[in-house]
Amino acid sequence: MPTQQAMLQTLTETVQQQLTQAQQQWLHLPHSSLAQPPAAGGWSANECLQHLNSYSRYYLPRLQQAFDKASATARPVQRSWKPGWLGGWFTRLMQPDANGQATKKMKAPADHRPASVLPSQQVMEEFIAHQQHLLHLLEQAAYLPLQQLRIPTSISQLIKLQAGDVLSFLVAHQQRHVAQAQRALAGTAVLAM
Protein backbone atom coordinates (compact mmCIF):
# COMPACT_ATOMS: atom_id res chain seq x y z
CA MET A 1 0.00 0.00 0.00
CA PRO A 2 1.48 3.40 -0.94
CA THR A 3 2.18 6.05 1.65
CA GLN A 4 0.38 9.35 1.80
CA GLN A 5 3.67 10.99 0.79
CA ALA A 6 4.01 8.80 -2.32
CA MET A 7 0.44 9.61 -3.35
CA LEU A 8 1.02 13.34 -2.86
CA GLN A 9 4.31 13.20 -4.79
CA THR A 10 2.56 11.59 -7.77
CA LEU A 11 -0.20 14.21 -7.70
CA THR A 12 2.35 17.03 -7.38
CA GLU A 13 4.32 15.81 -10.40
CA THR A 14 1.14 15.63 -12.49
CA VAL A 15 -0.02 19.12 -11.49
CA GLN A 16 3.46 20.53 -12.13
CA GLN A 17 3.41 19.05 -15.65
CA GLN A 18 -0.01 20.58 -16.29
CA LEU A 19 1.13 23.94 -14.99
CA THR A 20 4.27 23.86 -17.14
CA GLN A 21 2.21 22.94 -20.20
CA ALA A 22 -0.20 25.82 -19.57
CA GLN A 23 2.59 28.35 -18.99
CA GLN A 24 4.93 27.28 -21.77
CA GLN A 25 2.59 26.03 -24.49
CA TRP A 26 -0.86 27.54 -24.03
CA LEU A 27 -0.56 30.91 -22.30
CA HIS A 28 0.49 32.85 -25.36
CA LEU A 29 -1.67 31.09 -27.95
CA PRO A 30 -4.18 33.30 -29.74
CA HIS A 31 -7.74 33.32 -28.49
CA SER A 32 -8.91 31.98 -31.86
CA SER A 33 -6.90 28.76 -31.35
CA LEU A 34 -7.97 28.22 -27.75
CA ALA A 35 -11.63 28.98 -28.56
CA GLN A 36 -11.79 26.76 -31.67
CA PRO A 37 -13.86 23.62 -31.02
CA PRO A 38 -12.61 20.38 -32.57
CA ALA A 39 -13.97 19.50 -36.00
CA ALA A 40 -15.51 16.31 -34.58
CA GLY A 41 -17.39 18.36 -31.98
CA GLY A 42 -16.90 18.82 -28.27
CA TRP A 43 -15.39 21.52 -26.14
CA SER A 44 -12.63 23.85 -27.22
CA ALA A 45 -9.49 24.11 -25.08
CA ASN A 46 -10.95 27.32 -23.63
CA GLU A 47 -14.12 25.49 -22.56
CA CYS A 48 -12.15 22.56 -21.09
CA LEU A 49 -10.15 24.98 -18.95
CA GLN A 50 -13.26 26.92 -17.93
CA HIS A 51 -14.75 23.62 -16.77
CA LEU A 52 -11.62 22.87 -14.71
CA ASN A 53 -11.64 26.40 -13.32
CA SER A 54 -15.22 25.86 -12.17
CA TYR A 55 -14.20 22.77 -10.17
CA SER A 56 -11.16 24.57 -8.75
CA ARG A 57 -13.32 27.50 -7.64
CA TYR A 58 -15.46 25.03 -5.70
CA TYR A 59 -12.87 22.62 -4.25
CA LEU A 60 -9.72 24.65 -3.61
CA PRO A 61 -11.29 27.03 -1.03
CA ARG A 62 -12.90 24.09 0.78
CA LEU A 63 -9.61 22.21 0.89
CA GLN A 64 -7.82 25.34 2.10
CA GLN A 65 -10.41 25.89 4.81
CA ALA A 66 -10.13 22.28 6.01
CA PHE A 67 -6.33 22.43 5.93
CA ASP A 68 -6.28 25.71 7.86
CA LYS A 69 -8.49 24.20 10.58
CA ALA A 70 -6.50 20.97 10.85
CA SER A 71 -3.47 20.75 13.06
CA ALA A 72 -0.29 20.08 11.13
CA THR A 73 2.46 17.83 12.41
CA ALA A 74 6.05 18.99 12.63
CA ARG A 75 7.09 16.61 9.88
CA PRO A 76 5.39 14.89 6.91
CA VAL A 77 2.79 12.27 7.75
CA GLN A 78 4.23 8.84 6.92
CA ARG A 79 1.11 6.72 7.16
CA SER A 80 -0.12 4.43 4.42
CA TRP A 81 -2.66 5.80 1.99
CA LYS A 82 -5.92 4.04 1.21
CA PRO A 83 -8.61 5.86 -0.72
CA GLY A 84 -12.18 5.71 0.52
CA TRP A 85 -14.51 3.50 -1.51
CA LEU A 86 -16.55 6.41 -2.94
CA GLY A 87 -13.58 8.73 -3.44
CA GLY A 88 -11.58 5.95 -5.06
CA TRP A 89 -14.50 5.18 -7.38
CA PHE A 90 -14.87 8.86 -8.39
CA THR A 91 -11.14 9.07 -9.09
CA ARG A 92 -11.08 5.88 -11.19
CA LEU A 93 -14.13 7.13 -13.11
CA MET A 94 -12.27 10.34 -14.01
CA GLN A 95 -8.85 8.94 -14.87
CA PRO A 96 -8.12 8.86 -18.58
CA ASP A 97 -6.53 5.81 -20.17
CA ALA A 98 -2.88 5.66 -21.24
CA ASN A 99 -3.71 7.59 -24.43
CA GLY A 100 -5.41 10.41 -22.49
CA GLN A 101 -8.87 9.30 -23.60
CA ALA A 102 -11.80 9.23 -21.21
CA THR A 103 -12.60 5.65 -20.26
CA LYS A 104 -16.25 6.57 -19.73
CA LYS A 105 -18.06 9.49 -21.32
CA MET A 106 -19.96 11.67 -18.88
CA LYS A 107 -22.08 14.76 -19.07
CA ALA A 108 -20.78 17.61 -16.94
CA PRO A 109 -23.14 18.91 -14.25
CA ALA A 110 -24.95 22.02 -15.44
CA ASP A 111 -23.24 24.30 -12.91
CA HIS A 112 -19.81 23.19 -14.18
CA ARG A 113 -20.50 23.59 -17.92
CA PRO A 114 -19.07 26.64 -19.68
CA ALA A 115 -21.93 28.90 -20.74
CA SER A 116 -19.89 30.70 -23.40
CA VAL A 117 -16.33 31.16 -24.55
CA LEU A 118 -14.62 33.70 -22.29
CA PRO A 119 -11.46 35.66 -23.19
CA SER A 120 -8.74 33.00 -23.33
CA GLN A 121 -6.12 35.11 -21.55
CA GLN A 122 -8.46 35.44 -18.56
CA VAL A 123 -9.25 31.69 -18.60
CA MET A 124 -5.56 30.74 -18.84
CA GLU A 125 -4.50 33.09 -16.04
CA GLU A 126 -7.20 31.69 -13.75
CA PHE A 127 -6.20 28.10 -14.62
CA ILE A 128 -2.54 28.85 -13.86
CA ALA A 129 -3.43 30.52 -10.56
CA HIS A 130 -5.50 27.47 -9.58
CA GLN A 131 -2.63 25.12 -10.42
CA GLN A 132 -0.26 27.18 -8.28
CA HIS A 133 -2.76 27.11 -5.41
CA LEU A 134 -3.24 23.35 -5.85
CA LEU A 135 0.54 22.83 -5.65
CA HIS A 136 0.57 24.84 -2.41
CA LEU A 137 -2.26 22.67 -1.02
CA LEU A 138 -0.37 19.51 -1.97
CA GLU A 139 2.64 20.82 -0.02
CA GLN A 140 0.44 21.53 3.01
CA ALA A 141 -1.24 18.14 2.72
CA ALA A 142 2.04 16.36 3.50
CA TYR A 143 1.69 17.44 7.15
CA LEU A 144 -2.00 16.63 7.59
CA PRO A 145 -4.03 13.47 8.29
CA LEU A 146 -5.86 13.48 4.94
CA GLN A 147 -8.02 10.45 5.70
CA GLN A 148 -9.55 12.28 8.66
CA LEU A 149 -10.42 15.54 6.88
CA ARG A 150 -13.75 15.55 5.03
CA ILE A 151 -14.65 17.81 2.11
CA PRO A 152 -18.24 18.19 0.80
CA THR A 153 -18.61 17.33 -2.90
CA SER A 154 -20.00 19.69 -5.50
CA ILE A 155 -22.73 17.11 -6.15
CA SER A 156 -24.15 17.43 -2.63
CA GLN A 157 -23.02 19.03 0.60
CA LEU A 158 -24.20 15.83 2.31
CA ILE A 159 -21.65 13.68 0.46
CA LYS A 160 -18.20 14.22 1.95
CA LEU A 161 -14.93 12.66 0.78
CA GLN A 162 -11.55 12.31 2.44
CA ALA A 163 -9.35 15.28 1.57
CA GLY A 164 -6.85 12.95 -0.12
CA ASP A 165 -9.63 11.55 -2.31
CA VAL A 166 -10.66 15.07 -3.30
CA LEU A 167 -7.06 15.86 -4.27
CA SER A 168 -6.81 12.61 -6.26
CA PHE A 169 -10.15 13.24 -7.97
CA LEU A 170 -9.21 16.81 -8.89
CA VAL A 171 -5.92 15.77 -10.45
CA ALA A 172 -7.50 12.83 -12.35
CA HIS A 173 -10.27 15.14 -13.57
CA GLN A 174 -7.67 17.65 -14.72
CA GLN A 175 -5.72 14.93 -16.54
CA ARG A 176 -8.89 14.03 -18.41
CA HIS A 177 -9.69 17.57 -19.52
CA VAL A 178 -6.12 18.75 -20.11
CA ALA A 179 -5.80 15.82 -22.55
CA GLN A 180 -9.11 16.86 -24.11
CA ALA A 181 -7.86 20.45 -24.44
CA GLN A 182 -4.63 19.18 -26.00
CA ARG A 183 -6.63 17.20 -28.59
CA ALA A 184 -8.77 20.26 -29.36
CA LEU A 185 -5.64 22.36 -29.88
CA ALA A 186 -4.01 19.67 -32.00
CA GLY A 187 -6.98 19.98 -34.31
CA THR A 188 -6.19 23.66 -34.84
CA ALA A 189 -2.64 22.73 -35.96
CA VAL A 190 -1.16 25.26 -33.55
CA LEU A 191 0.77 22.85 -31.35
CA ALA A 192 3.35 20.39 -32.53
CA MET A 193 2.54 17.08 -30.88
Q: Which of 94, 56, 81 is nearest to 144 (CA)?
A: 81
Residue 99, pLDDT score:
65
Residue 106, pLDDT score:
63
Return the CATH architecture of domain 4-186. Answer: Up-down Bundle (1.20)
Residue 12, pLDDT score:
98
Q: Which residues, other chains included, contact 92 with Cβ-Cβ below 8 Å and sequence gap of 6+?
A: 172
Whole-number Å distance between alpha carbons of 33 and 11: 29
Whole-number Å distance between alpha carbons of 52 and 59: 11
Whole-number Å distance between alpha carbons of 4 and 167: 12
Residues of the chain with pLDDT under 70: 1, 78, 96-111, 188-193
pTM (2 d.p.) = 0.86
Q: Where are the domains of the chain?
A: 4-186
- The answer to whether the CB of 99 falls within 8 A of the CB of 17 is no
Number of other residues whose CB lies within 10 A of the CB of residue 152: 16
- Residue pLDDT, tens place only, 33-73: 999 998 888 899 999 999 999 999 999 999 999 999 987 77
